[in-house]
Structure 1
């Protein structure tokens, strides 16, 4: 297949549905479907690319993120609880809940590391105080705090070697890097990999491609951009017809389609008229870049017959 001219494609909406706060896209390479959430709508969405079927699960909670489990079901961060969700029936089972945390906290972005641990951050509903944290959930169900003093915990990514973790606390306008120890999940050597200029918007969700370059969704920046974490150089971007871009993930049969979530949260009627696709799920088909399969949580929940 002839590769497209890089960054020449125009992102297109996947389906006629708009989220208030779309987030957390993850591609399931076993089923050929894209899963994402509407945090404020309390909904987990799934779109089967081959059939066009759009399935959703209402959680009656603020759903910060979901992860695939090794048996194909879902691990969901709901309010301040972590629950298993049966993918077909929507049946739920509590795994653990955060304790001894400040009021007005919810889970936000989360992702599995290469060893199958689930990393999930929190943030204040007010979005203005550093009282959030970053947690790591192991296969034993033990959820341990790893970082504190976080305001809006967001994007997570690991390099191909599994030795570096990248992390975004959105108001800092920076991507942090850590030496990552795959055997234990320990973080050391915390540092700023690079900053995001104010003109680019705020860094939000993030993924990484097969060349270990970071793809960052820019809230207020109308774009998803590719960044070199070693040099801090912006390598290119896909402009979008919405300002509040929240996250991105590679998918498709060859991992070359870039899926992008967005939000309509807080937009005025005038802004919505100018951004009628705000809150949509977008895709850049055959983007010219390739991602890696999503890591799965290394624990298999047992459900009774739904």
Structure 2
């Protein structure tokens, strides 16, 4: 695979999301789940069943969703972590986080290989340094891992679980940490990739079975593939929407890359140029992803 590979992203669902985010493949029902943060909705997309897309309102500001080992899902709303039963639409509070801090909400989140749920916060006005990356353990105890974050975003773990990759969007950097899966602690923060200014800001992220990172570019019209060992950009997949927010591998073989986008803040002329902004896209990128980690609590 090279930087000039001709891969296209096709529209999978014209969802018109304000802020599509957090795609996650659930092998239990072979569906992709993702959220529209600003419209307070969880979407589902089952590729094997055309016209099967569903959406359900979960407010305020549902920002990530993960499968739960005990059944159903766990998710983040504005003020904390919740359990979610899709059959009844019932939400169960697991723990509130930063509830006393005004103007803060959760953003992206995923589970580590040991079943902890990591998710980060940000100021709704994007004030610098007010966010934190948190870890929710099996017993619902919350531990801050990274502080003074501005826009907590993409998360991914290496195949052996020993490295955590993490994006704080405004830095334009992808960071790596040594990750102890036994204790859930991080150490040795370093930069493994830097996004050029002309290519937008790094947003959501995933990792493939070869250990390469896939990064969504907010304001950059693309998803890119990077080698974290060398900092080299390997591939760019053009997306027909400027605000590309996140990506995840899905399909029964985990061989399709699903891509979320946003339309918030776009004017009439911009929407005329990118009418499917806010849609869910899909691309065949020639590699497979890793299975989704479940929350064990």
For the residues of structure 2 that align with 1:279 and 1:100, how far apart are their CA atoms?
29
Deviation, 1:212, is 0.5
**In the alignment, what sits opposite 1:92?**
91
**In the alignment, what sits opposite 1:292?**
290
Task: Determine if contact 1:102/1:131 at 8 Å carries over to the other structure.
Answer: no
Deviation, 1:143, is 1.1
For the residues of structure 2 that align with 1:55 and 1:132, how far apart are their CA atoms?
31
**In the alignment, what sits opposite 1:262?**
261
Deviations 1:200-224 (A, max 9, x none): 1100000000011000000000000
Alignment map for 1:1-306 (pairs within 5 Å): 7-52=5-50, 53-99=52-98, 102-284=101-283, 286-299=284-297
User: Which blocks of at least 5 consecutive residues in structure 2 are unaligned?
Assistant: none
RMSD between superposed Cα atoms in Å: 1.5
For the residues of structure 1 that align with 2:274 and 2:161, how far apart are their CA atoms?
38
- TM-score (structure 1 length as normaliser): 0.93
Deviation, 1:270, is 1.0
For the residues of structure 2 that align with 1:272 and 1:27, how far apart are their CA atoms?
28
User: Which blocks of at least 5 consecutive residues in structure 1 are unaligned?
Assistant: 300-306
* SS of aligned partner of 2:13: coil
Moved over 6 A (4+): none
Deviations 1:6-50 (A, max 9, x none): 842311111232100000000011211000000000000111221
- TM-score (structure 2 length as normaliser): 0.96
For the residues of structure 1 that align with 2:99 and 2:277, how far apart are their CA atoms?
36
For the residues of structure 2 that align with 1:100 and 1:55, how far apart are their CA atoms?
30
For the residues of structure 1 that align with 2:193 and 2:54, how far apart are their CA atoms?
38
Deviation, 1:189, is 0.7
Task: Determine if contact 2:4/2:236 at 8 Å carries over to the other structure.
Answer: no
For the residues of structure 2 that align with 1:82 and 1:280, how far apart are their CA atoms?
26
For the residues of structure 1 that align with 2:159 and 2:270, how far apart are their CA atoms?
40
For the residues of structure 2 that align with 1:162 and 1:123, how far apart are their CA atoms?
26
For the residues of structure 2 that align with 1:252 and 1:99, how far apart are their CA atoms?
36
Task: Determine if contact 2:217/2:223 at 8 Å carries over to the other structure.
Answer: yes
Deviation, 1:169, is 0.2
